[in-house]
Structure 1
């Protein structure tokens, strides 16, 4: 593979908080301006603007998971949490179903690889969390372009 392949998982909560926050800011501005200068409408508008700004700020802080495969490594990034695995150590993958989907990587013998926890806890996990809006078909096509076979079709299992 000569170029890197990249997949950004959609984060639904991010978009809801951004659009909801911007809508509250706009609604607050309309309420404050159209209230004919009454102190209650100005206070309500200010509260709506502050709440909307807080929601939009929180939406901007949410980091979506990014999967990237280059010539020599597989990389998973979610905020400041980064996992790098040499490409030649990956034998297959599997996608865990559920409300929040996850991606598991296996070595060439079919054993799941272990990764450190996301929150710097002492436990480790065998999967990398994606988002609930991530389509498993997109993950499968991404891994196919990267050249990593699914676990059920790997040569060693």
Structure 2
């Protein structure tokens, strides 16, 4: 199972992301909610749809996909500077370039300030999706530049189904 179908529950988040795909409007998204509820999986599914090649995106093998993750406990300015340099390169294959910033709440202040400029005025082909477990550390300015995509806690049933799928021999 891949795409949005692989994300358990989260009807509102999936609706917002599908609407964004159909409308082709917003350029910055902030997927936020508790850890382990499908934000990361949804971000990759969204990128796969935007780039038209979900398989290569899932394998992180698409040339128009750029992923930033925390190194250690934070995302530092150097990582965002690299992203910003790449952001101004035109797409290689697709019509767009997609930038996923995983663990966005762990950007240090310098990194967040550096990213803000490109959230305000991105190139027309760029889509930036921030993924955060906690909105608290992200500035109000960053939040206001993104379309917020909220994720909720999973139901007990969804957690049980996920556990059963991952570890079939596991019993209650």
TM-score normalised over the length of structure 1? 0.23
Q: Which is richer in helix?
A: 2
Q: Which has the higher contact order (CA 8 A, sep 6+)?
A: 2
Q: Which is richer in strand?
A: 1
